[in-house]
């Protein structure tokens, strides 16, 4: 039986989850880019390596390309 505090694979705390707090104003602004693909609006640079990134990555992946994001937040994988 699974511990209620740990949750399952669909839990907010499941492995592979990333959360970032923001104001309501920031959330409203960023929601405009939530459904954009990782290859749309490639007008930004990864804040770590400088690689071109999409507006989605800028807003939802902490300003990082997928490689830097995974290395920073999912080190154990």
Interval 11-68: pLDDT, tens: 655 566 666 787 888 878 877 777 777 777 788 999 999 999 999 899 888 999 999 9
- Residue in 12, 15, 18 with CA at minimum distance from that of residue 61: 18
3-state secondary structure 29-67: HHHHHCCCCCCCCCCEECCCCCCEECHHHHHHCCCCCHH
Q: Is 15 helix (H, G, I), strand (E, B) or coil?
A: coil
- pTM of structure: 0.57
- Using a 10 angstrom Cβ sphere, with 0-12 exposed, 13-18 middle and 19 or more buried, the burial of residue 15 is exposed
Residue 3 binned pLDDT confidence (cut-offs 50, 70, 90): very low
Whole-angstrom Cα distance, residue 9 to residue 21?
22
């Amino acid at each position: 039986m699974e511990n209620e505090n740990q949750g399952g694979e669909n839990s907010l705390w499941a492995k592979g989850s990333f959360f970032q707090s923001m104001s309501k104003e920031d959330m409203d602004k960023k929601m405009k880019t939530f459904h954009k693909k990782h290859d749309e609006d490639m007008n930004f640079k990864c804040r770590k390596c400088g690689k071109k990134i999409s507006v989605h990555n800028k807003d939802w992946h902490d300003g990082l390309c997928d490689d830097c994001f995974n290395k920073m937040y999912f080190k154990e994988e």
